[in-house]
Structure 1
Amino acid sequence: MTLEELKVAVTDLQVGMYVCRLDRPWEGTPFLLQGLMVESADDVAVLQRLCTHVYVDVERGLGRMPPSLQVVGPAATPSAVPAAPRNYENDQIAALQGTVAYPERVEFDQELDSARQAHAQAAAFAERALEEVRGGRAIAVEEVRDAIEPMVRSLVRNADAFLWLDALRARGAYEYRHALSCSALAAAFGRHVGLPEPLLLDMASGGLLLDVGKLRLPPALLASPAPYDDTQRSVMQTHVESGLALVDAAGVPAHVREMIRTHHEWIDGSGYPGRLQGDAIPLLGRIAAVIDAYDAMISTRPHRQAVAPHVALQSLYRGRGTQFAAEIVEQFMQCMGVYPIGALVELSTGEVAIVTAQNAARRLQPRVMVLTGPDKRLLTQFHSIDLLVRGHSDEPVRIAGALAPGAYGLDPVGLFL
């Protein structure tokens, strides 16, 4: 992805534009990160007070460009997405980035009930359908799409609500949990980079089926608590080929097939099964590699304990340019935030909290649910605070640091079920 900038007067700023440069240094502005997705009229107002013009990254977000500024045409809105072709070429997908702006249509609290229903439907389908695949049944592509469409629509309305529920999901079999999480993360990432909604549905379908081939491997291999030896590793790697056989029989779109085929390829050519390098790995495969690795790291598996979300992000960052595409890692980190949803954090007050929602323009100041007092004792009643608001109060509160899973004996899944 090459950076293409467009100079825009602040009077022409629109929601959905991605501001990559200002006409002044970022230092001294309210923006902690260098780069801002304009998500509200308030963002526009702040930029209009500070600047006379800004520079918009046309790959990341164009918003609804005024006719005088159109470069690739006005961005579509999620409610008026044109019908997608059945198959996309890799360069078509790259060109579609930033063509749709996704402002939050519904507040977090208002979306929770719909997100809960969509999550329950998708989770039940993932467990049932994948178990049927294990038993020899073919994949029904239309069933996959029908089951996850409510999830995608919930993520479009408010991504934080669905990701919050997924973070607190009871820990069942890793294969089913991983499939649903990868599906949600793929759609959330596609939303973040401004891809059309029909393509989000394809990405979510691909995320659900990334590791479907593992269901044809020996269960004892999947459950092994010891690191794999060379023979076991070779057998494990055949899950990609097995998965392709399953999705080929199902007739998934070509770009979804490519996403599954290349989700274990590494940028430096040391991945599998094709040892592809760099741009030879299609865009959806590069995205899937990051999503698959991230969710695997934050999940407990038979041979490895889960790590904290911020630790997983740090690992992805260290692997950029070798394992993972650098631009995908950077965009994924922006999508997830400095403190991802579901992360345990310690506040400057000494209280322990869990991140529930992001503040897009202030990644260091998310919304959190406070679980303990300063003495680390569990509260009888939890309460939510918006650190963006509290950061500007007479008694500001900030995040002092991220915590490991299970810190102070806290199990958020058990607390919220």
Structure 2
Amino acid sequence: MSRFVRTHVDDLQLGMFVADLDRPWIDTPFLMQGFTIKTVEELAALRQLCTTVDVDIGLSQTPKNYDPLLTNGGAKRSRVVTQMFGGKRLVSYEDVFTFEQEMVSAEKVFRDYEVLVGDLYQGIARNGSVDMSAVRKTVDEVVDSIMRNADACMLLSAIRNKDSYSYSHAMASSILAAAVGRQIGLPIPDIKTLAQGSLLCDVGKLNISSRILNKNTPLSTEEVAIVRSHVDQGLELLSHSRGVSPEVLSIVAYHHERHNGSGYPNGTAGAEIPPMARIAGIVDCYDAMISDRAYARGVSPADAISKLYTMRDVDFQGELIEEFIQAVGIYPVGSFVALTDGRVGIVVTEHRRRRLRPRVMVLLDGEGMPATPGTYVNLLEETEDRLGRPLEILKGIEPMDYDIDPSELVF
């Protein structure tokens, strides 16, 4: 067998050595004609620019179980995901509104969602049950907004007030889960169920002492067991609530299980974990990584995406990690970024097929001064700076390092 294998870009993995492309090297950002894929950004760029590449198996550092003869032109992921959902008819959703059009209604939808989550947690503390009719009504509005244009709600969630981790995490998880469901092409009723379940995953933590949840030092073995009991406590609470579907209960029950069986409460693995719970686990993990906690600062969205990629087929099913990244991008909406021309901004919209070229609202100019309000750069259209040099995202940044307060931004 030849050491050079023509490989579809959907089948590429970190560690592979790309020997040749299906287009001239000069038309790409890759300086070396032949390189090892080391970052998620390089992987994403290859998938956006090419259809197939030639992989040098001899120079590649690929998993032992990788067999180039079993790749299937990118169809494997679609086939696996379709089978995962029991043959449901998956569809391709297109944006109905632009970002600006959807922001008008999304801001009200998001405010209503904040009120709902606050009332939800207070109601649980007071009555020991969940008002599912209120949950369904508001979640339906959120999902409807995401179906029209996912970027608006995702942006509002990203810059949300994070004073209460429990509230903000529940909201963000449900919004992200709905976005992933949209990306996969699930029927809308299933997307709403997924969002409901992701919203309710951590309700059991209301029965756990805030002293333990907010502890800024390592938890003891006993405290870890107490925190992990929130899954069973949540199921117990929901069992006393009217109108909770079996699918929602399943999401709550399995969202901390892991692909390799290392999760809890039962160590369930692989295909034994219900598909919607697998998605909920990914979004729960991602939002936890980007959120500030009592014991650690959150990482940037781009760093969290890179970390998630290393967890594919270990903690989470690889095909679903791919769908998650397709849904949110390498620099997700709400990410603060530095451009190669020195400007700093926030990603406000994604181009569904060109994730590395989003639309950015400029906050600081090249000299670090506040930019004119309403200044945007569309990296899909603006490919060069004023000096003719390539214009692209240089890196993700932390807003506080640039004296930017996300809560004060106006879109």
TM range (shorter): 0.7 to 0.9
Q: Which residue of 2 aligns with 1:338?
A: 330
Structure 1 residue 338, shift from structure 2 partner? 1.2
1:292 equivalent to 2:284? Answer yes
Distance 1:253 1:92, change over 3 A: farther
AA paired with 1:241? Answer: D
Choose from 93, 97, 101 the match for 2:92. 101
Q: What is the deviation of 1:155?
A: 0.2
Q: Amino acid of the residue matched to residue 282 of structure 1?
A: P
Structure 1: how far apart are the matches of 2:255 and 2:319?
16
Q: What is the rounded CA distance, in whole Å, between the counterparts of 1:322 and 1:405 in structure 2?
A: 32
Task: Tell me if the contact between 1:26 and 1:34 (Cα under 8 Å) persists in the aligned partners.
Answer: no
Query: What letter corresponds to residue 300 of structure 1 in structure 2?
Result: D
The match for 2:66 is none
TM-score normalized by the length of structure 2? 0.79
TM-score (norm 1): 0.78
Two-structure CA RMSD over aligned residues (Å): 2.6
Which residue type is aligned with residue 274 of structure 1?
A: N
Q: Is the 8 A contact 2:177 2:198 kept in 1?
A: yes
Matches within 5 A, 1:365-384: 365-384=357-376
CA deviation string 1:38-79 (max 9, x = no partner): xxxxxxxxxxxxxxxx97849749xxxxxxxxxx9xxxxxxx
Q: Summarize deviations over 1:149-193 as a string: whole Å, max 9, x none.
A: 111000000001111111121222111111111110111100000
2:47 counterpart of 1:34 = yes
SS at match of 1:345: strand
Question: Given the alignment of the two structures, is residue 411 of structure 1 paired with residue 405 of structure 2, yes or no?
Answer: yes
Distance 2:399 2:218 in 1: 22
Matching residue of 1:301 = 293
In the alignment, is the contact (CA less than 8 A) between 1:353 and 1:368 conserved in 2?
Answer: yes
- For residues 273-319 of structure 1, the C-alpha deviation after alignment (integer angstroms, 9 at most, x for no partner) is 01011111111111111100000111111122111001111111112
- Does residue 399 of the first structure (1) align with residue 390 of the second (2)? no
Please identify, of 396-405 and 231-240, the stretch whose mean Cα deviation from structure 2 is larger. Answer: 396-405
Counterpart Cα distance in 2 of 1:377 and 1:146 = 44
2:109 to 95, 118, 138: 118
Q: Which runs of 5+ in 1 are unaligned?
A: 1-18, 37-53, 62-71, 73-90
Q: d(CA) in 2 for partners of 1:268 and 1:92?
A: 17
- Alpha carbons 1:171, 1:177 under 8 Å: kept: yes
Is 1:257–2:249 an aligned residue pair? Answer: yes
Deviation at 1:110, TM superposition (A): 0.7
Aligned equivalent of 1:316 = 308
Give 1:279's aligned residue: 271
**CA distance in 2: counterparts of 1:107 and 1:58, whole angstroms:** 32
Q: Where do residues 42-81 of structure 1 align in structure 2 (5 Å cutoff)?
A: 57=75, 60=78
Whether the 8 Å CA contact 1:105–1:157 is kept in 2: the answer is yes
Contact 2:128–2:237 (8 Å) recurs in 1: no
Aligned mates of 1:34, 1:26 — CA distance in 2: 12
Q: Post-superposition shift, 1:134? A: 2.2
Q: How many Å apart are 1:224 and its aligned residue?
A: 1.6
**CA distance in 2 between partners of 1:289 and 1:167 (Å):** 18
SS of equivalent to 1:161: helix
Q: 2:184 aligns with which of 193, 200, 209?
A: 193
| 2:148 equivalent in structure 1 | 157
Is the Cα contact below 8 Å between 2:335 and 2:346 reproduced in 1?
A: yes
Cα deviation code 1:361-385 (max 9, x no counterpart): 1111100011111122223524111
User: Which residue number in structure 2 is paired with residue 41 of structure 1?
Assistant: none
Contact kept? 1:346, 1:401, Cα under 8 Å: yes
Aligned equivalents of 1:130, 1:142: Cα separation in 2? 15
Match status 1:237 vs 2:228: yes
How far off is 1:233 after superposition?
Answer: 0.4
**Shift in Å at residue 25 of structure 1?**
6.0
User: In structure 2, what is the Cα distance between the partners aligned to 1:231 and 1:405?
Assistant: 37
**Corresponding residue number in structure 2 for 1:139:** 130
> Match of 2:295, SS?
coil
Q: Work out the percentage of aligned pairs sharing the same amino acid.
A: 34
Please say if residues 77 and 319 of structure 2, whose CA atoms lie closer than 8 Å, have aligned partners that are also in contact. no
1:308·1:405 contact (CA, 8 Å) conserved in 2?
no
Per the alignment, residue 69 of structure 2 pairs with none
Q: Contact 1:290/1:324 (CA < 8 Å) preserved in 2?
A: yes
Moved more, 403-412 or 126-135: 403-412
The 5 A counterparts of 1:163-178 are 163-178=154-169
* 8 Å Cα contact 1:354-1:371 kept in structure 2: yes
In structure 1, what is the equivalent of residue 200 of structure 2? 209
Tell me whether 201-210 or 384-393 shows the greater mean CA deviation. Answer: 384-393
Quick one: distance in 2 between partners of 1:313 and 1:349? 24
